[in-house]
Amino acid sequence: MIFLGVDGGGTKTAFVLLNSEGEVLARHEAATCYYLSVGMESARSVIANGISEICYRAGITPADITYSFLGLPAYGEVSADTTTLDALPQPVLDVARYRCNNDMICGWAASLGCKDGINVVSGTGSIAYGERLGRSARCGGWGELFSDEGSAYWIGCQSLNLFSRMADGRLKKDLFYDLIRENFPCNNDLDICDLVFNQWKGDRGKIASLAPIACEAAVAGDKHSREIFFHAAKELALMVDALRESLQFTQDERVRVSYSGGVFKCGDVILEAFAYELSKLNGNYHISLPEYHPGLGAAIYAAKINGTPLSAQALKKISFGGYDGQ
Res 322 pLDDT > 60: no
In this prediction, residues 52-72 reach a mean pLDDT of 98
Q: How far is CA 241 from CA 144, 254, 257, 281, in A?
A: 21, 13, 10, 7
Cβ atoms of 225 and 162 within 8 Å: the answer is: yes
Distances (CA, A) of 273 to 51, 64, 212, 279: 39, 45, 17, 10
Average pLDDT score over residue span 263-291: 95
d(CA 233, CA 227): 10
Per-residue pLDDT band for 147 (boundaries 50, 70, 90) equals very high
The pTM is what?
Answer: 0.89
Model pLDDT, residue 143: 86
Domain coordinates in residue numbering, the chain:
2-113+291-317, 116-290
Highest mean pLDDT among 6-15, 225-234, 286-295: 225-234
DSSP string for residues in 82-95:
HHHHHTTTTTTS-G
CA-based nearest residue to 72, from 134, 15, 115, 130? 15
Average the pLDDT over 257-279 and give the result: 96
The CA distance from 85 to 91, in Å, is 12
Q: What is the pLDDT of residue 11?
A: 82
Predicted local distance difference test score (pLDDT) of residue 319: 52
Whether 58 has a pLDDT exceeding 60, the answer reads yes
Interval 6-23 mean pLDDT? 93
| pLDDT at residue number 318 | 86
Residue 326, judged by CB atoms within 10 A of its CB (0-12, 13-18, 19+), counts as buried
Residues of the chain above pLDDT 90, percent: 90
pLDDT at 182: 97
pLDDT band for position 321 (cuts 50, 70, 90): very low
Residue 198's identity, in one-letter code, is N
Spatial contact of 285 and 240, defined as CB atoms under 8 Å apart: yes
CA angle 169-228-219, nearest 5°?
A: 95
| Chain mean position to CA 81 | 21
- The band of 325, judged by pLDDT with boundaries at 50, 70 and 90, is very low
Mean pLDDT of 253-282: 96
Fold (CATH) for 2-113+291-317: Nucleotidyltransferase; domain 5 (3.30.420)
Res 324 pLDDT > 60: no
Q: Do domains 2-113+291-317 and 116-290 have the same CATH topology?
A: yes
Radius of gyration for the alpha carbons in the chain, expressed in angstroms and rounded:
20
d(CA 235, CA 222) in angstroms, rounded, equals 21
> What's the pLDDT score for residue 159?
98
Q: Under CATH, to which class is 116-290 assigned?
A: alpha beta
